[in-house]
Amino acid sequence: MDRPYQICTRCVMDTTDPDIQFDENGVCNHCHQYDELVRQRVLTGAEGERKLQQIVAQIKRAGTDKPYDCVIGVSGGVDSTFVAYKVKQFGLRPLAVHLDNGWDSELAVKNVENVCRKLNIDLHTIVLDWEEFKDLQLAFLKASTPDSEIPSDHAIVASMRHTAARIGVKYVVTGCNIRTETHLPTAWSQGHSDWRYIYCIHKQFGTVELKTFPHQDYWTFRRYKRTQQFVNILDYLDYVKKDAMPVLERELGWRYYGGKHYESIYTRWYQGFWLPQKFGYDKRRTHMSSLICSGEMTRTEALAALEQPSYSPALQEEDTAYVIKKFGMTEAEFERIMKLSKKSYWDYPSYGQVYKTAAYKGLRNLYRAVKKRA
């Protein structure tokens, strides 16, 4: 039976997240999780500054006598650009990594190049093999899950980790932050680190061998977890996105591109067209809900924004035509994909499926018992 519609009384997450839960006051589980994560991981003011000074000192010590002391990812967006700006202020020596997956907007490319030049940061651009990556993205569309950005997300993280390993640095500094990126339903997208999931979807729906695609399997992921450290420096700064943007414009000549992660044409289309039209998921709810909880946006403002199209209908139409053409599809093939039955992460082989087996649970419990005795 369909669930009655309900929307959180604090943020704008609603029952389009099939797993959402509400307390007696109508506040959703995402807001409660936000509060807990902020309490555990976010430090601001003098406390955040002290912690950040400690981290910076650690990075500098670990990078002694090396050309670089950390890796940063740059996309041309607000968060990654602000990270590049701050790490230079801290006196770090980063190598910037940019993943070119064939979908960068012209403005994003200019932002990346201008920022790295003005900050005197070396830039390492990894260009994906388009035929391989196109085939993988198409495989995800044909799999009919809401996870079509996972190939890019996986490749970005793998590229940063591989680069850090290659140049011998421990620290990867990112623009991820708790206060603006917490209201993320797993039903809307999951499996970003799950190479088995990605590989099996491509094996079922793809046609081109993935010879060069940057990835990390389970054991590589575990090795990197032991030898590398991701540092989310924005969790230690009084970071407010709307305040950061004018600084970047003034100091670096950075230019805004119109929406969260809209520096990528495919991401803009995926968030603004594919998810709402096929699955009824509006990613703006997640972004705005985090901003509501952080005090950067009011709930009234968010509700008003949600009354408007995700982005210009004319641009949506233009982007859809561009996606169809770039993938080499016909409109009929695209319509067929749009009409496929909706699937999820759990409909395909994955590490997540393995973790749910009795054998895995038994081995995990045995390991914990032995570790506890030791």
Pick the CATH number of 44-347 from 2.40.440.10, 3.90.1150.10, 3.40.50.620, 3.40.50.720: 3.40.50.620
What's the rounded Cα separation, in Å, for the pair 28 and 9?
A: 8
pLDDT tens-digit profile of 25-75? 999 999 999 999 999 999 989 999 999 999 999 999 999 999 999 999 999
pLDDT of residue 368: 73
pLDDT greater than 60 at residue 1: no
Q: Per-domain residue ranges for the chain?
A: 44-347
pLDDT greater than 60 at residue 307: yes
pLDDT tens-digit profile of 345-354? 999 999 998 8
pLDDT tens-digit profile of 328-343? 999 999 999 999 999 9
pLDDT greater than 80 at residue 287: yes
> What value does the mean pLDDT take over residues 158-182?
94
pLDDT of residue 362: 75
User: Which amino acid, one-letter code, is at 210?
Assistant: L
Instruction: Name the pLDDT band for 260 (thresholds 50, 70, 90).
Output: low
pTM for this predicted structure: 0.91
* H-type alpha helices, the chain: 29-41, 45-62, 78-89, 106-119, 130-143, 150-167, 195-205, 218-227, 241-252, 265-269, 283-294, 299-306, 313-327, 331-338, 351-355, 358-373
pLDDT greater than 50 at residue 261: no
pLDDT of residue 160: 97
Apex 314 CA angle, 309 and 320, nearest 5: 95
Q: Which of 185-194, 255-264, 302-311 has the lowest mean pLDDT?
A: 255-264
Is 180 or 97 the better-scoring residue by pLDDT?
A: 97
Share of the chain above pLDDT 70, in %: 96
What's the rounded Cα separation, in Å, for the pair 134 and 215?
A: 15
What's the rounded Cα separation, in Å, for the pair 178 and 293?
A: 11
pLDDT greater than 90 at residue 305: yes
What's the rounded Cα separation, in Å, for the pair 14 and 6?
A: 6
